[in-house]
Amino acid sequence: MKTLPSVGFGPTHGYLYIHAAPRAVLKNLEWGIAEVLQMPLSLKWEPQPLLSGSYKSEIAWNGIQGSGSRLVSSLKGWHYLTFELFESSSQGSDGSLYMFSPELGLFRGTVGPHGDLVINENQIQKILNENKSPALALEDIESLLGKKWDDALEPYRHQSIGGEELDARLSV
């Protein structure tokens, strides 16, 4: 499992895992990521065996607060792209976990300083106040945790990049 250092090189840092992207857009993706991070980069792309004709890559990044959401905004418009982005909590702010698949769209979860997804009391209170059956309440809680996205991305997480098993579940 990869872990983030407790202190990044910039105000915030994280990981971007592009699990699947069509060959035709790889260079454009690099340009878009470089523009957001304001630094030139060249990603190492490898074939994605789970999706014929697709490629995968990953990058550890540093940037100013909010770089993660700007990266996600840049990436989510590309068709047939599957990715995950983690932005570390820093300087008193929570982090974020973004998961995207073409079928499900975008999930965003708040990540606390220990790397756990955070569900706040208002979200739980809303579910309780709706007087749903336990099964429906559980479904709502799973939605807050991004379970559908988690299930969809899980097969990609166990692919290797550069000879190392990729585990996109990060801890701080």
Helix (H, G, I), strand (E, B) or coil at 16: strand
pTM, full prediction: 0.83
- Token digits for 101? 């698949």
Of 42, 43, 152, 65, nearest to 107 by C-alpha is 152
Q: Does residue 11 surpass a pLDDT of 50?
A: yes
Q: Does residue 46 surpass a pLDDT of 50?
A: yes
Buried b (16+ CB within 10 A) or exposed e, 62-83: ebeeebbebbbeebeebeebbb
List of long-range contacts for 114-121, beta carbons under 8 Å, 24+ apart = 114/171, 114/172, 115/4, 115/170, 115/171, 115/172, 117/145, 117/146, 118/94, 119/144, 119/145
The pLDDT of residue 55 is 97
Instruction: Determine the Cα–Cα distance for residues 108 and 7; give it in Å rounded to an integer.
Output: 23
Average pLDDT for the chain: 86
The pLDDT of residue 91 is 72
Phi, psi of 145 (to 5 degrees): -90, -5
Taking residue 143's Cβ as centre, other Cβ atoms within 10 Å add up to 14
More confident residue, 59 or 11: 59
